[in-house]
């Protein structure tokens, strides 16, 4: 596809906005960067204490901490989109000052959140090696899976930030939604621990599919199951559909934002 001067300008603008969002999220001071790294570490430590020690959950054939971190990688990537649900409303002034596609606002937030995803993914490999997990060639598929997860988060972010313009109270329900997704996904427990009548969630829940794909390539030395590729295709449709929906409503979004 031909990259026109206009598209190059869009790409530069997206890069600038992403760098700005990264600076807002992680800051330029060492203390804020350290805290950004410590946040997922403390979250995993809390999950490990609650579910691994108190509730005696296990990772089956995998060390529980590695099993848990693999789930947290995907969970934090997706729920990071919830934190930017009001980004279009918050940056309404950009819609009238800069002639760029409106979806770049939530997408830049998602790209900034991918820094956190990368940190946790690196932590997963470190924890797995320390726990004696054999890392094989299948780990080369991990970046591909994380790209798909990022695209999914972008689709969710674009959709939610669009709806939030019309339903301002939506941003107050995202914490509940994040909590519901945590317990509906096999992050701290094994998929077969769900009651038989609820195991269909492991198939239709993209987070569950992505988590198992991460565990397969990083911890089990296996390539992703076919279900992952199906969810990857649906992820592309979600992102394109969300962008199309936002573009169709741009005029109303600008008026209400």
pLDDT in tens, 22-37: 888 776 666 666 777 7
Q: Helix count (H) and strand count (E) of the chain?
A: 12, 0
- Return d(Cα 28, Cα 245) in angstroms, integer: 35
Instruction: Supply the pTM of this predicted model.
Output: 0.92
Q: What is the mean pLDDT of the chain?
A: 90
- Helix, strand, coil % in the chain, rounded to nearest 5: 80, 0, 20
- 4 φ/ψ angles, rounded to the nearest 5 degrees: -80, 165
Q: What is the pLDDT of residue 57?
A: 93
Q: What is the pLDDT of residue 89?
A: 85
pLDDT at 257 over 60: no
Please give the C-alpha separations between residue 30 and each of 11, 45, 72, 112, 133, in angstroms, as whole numbers.
29, 22, 24, 18, 32
Please give the C-alpha separations between residue 39 and each of 33, 36, 44, 117, 230, in angstroms, as whole numbers.
10, 5, 9, 12, 32
Q: Write the pLDDT tens digit of every residue in 58-81.
A: 999 999 999 999 999 999 999 988
From the CB of residue 42, how many other CB atoms can be counted at a distance below 10 Å? 11
172 vs 189 pLDDT, higher one:
189
């Amino acid at each position: 596809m031909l990259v026109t001067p206009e598209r190059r300008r869009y790409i530069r603008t997206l890069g600038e906005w992403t760098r700005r969002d990264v600076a807002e999220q992680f800051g330029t001071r060492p203390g804020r960067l350290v805290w950004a790294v410590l946040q997922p570490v403390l979250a995993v430590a809390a999950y490990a204490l609650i579910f691994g020690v108190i509730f005696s959950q296990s990772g089956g054939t995998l060390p529980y901490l590695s099993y848990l971190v693999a789930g947290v990688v995907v969970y934090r990537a997706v729920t990071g989109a919830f934190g930017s649900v009001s980004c279009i409303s918050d940056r309404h002034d950009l819609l009238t000052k800069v002639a760029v596609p409106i979806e770049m606002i939530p997408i830049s937030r998602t790209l900034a959140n991918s820094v956190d995803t990368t940190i946790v993914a690196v932590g997963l490999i470190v924890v797995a090696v320390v726990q004696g997990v054999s890392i094989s060639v299948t780990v080369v598929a991990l970046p591909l899976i994380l790209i798909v997860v990022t695209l999914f988060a972008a689709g969710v972010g674009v959709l939610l930030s669009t709806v939030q313009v019309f339903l301002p109270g939506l941003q107050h329900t995202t914490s509940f939604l994040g909590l519901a997704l945590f317990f509906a996904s096999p992050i701290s427990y094994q998929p077969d621990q769900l009651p038989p009548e609820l195991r269909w969630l492991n198939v239709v829940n993209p987070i569950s599919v992505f988590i198992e794909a991460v565990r397969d390539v990083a911890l089990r030395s296996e390539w992703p199951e076919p279900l992952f590729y199906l969810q990857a295709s649906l992820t592309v449709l979600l992102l394109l559909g969300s962008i199309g929906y936002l573009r169709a409503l741009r005029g109303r979004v600008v008026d209400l934002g």
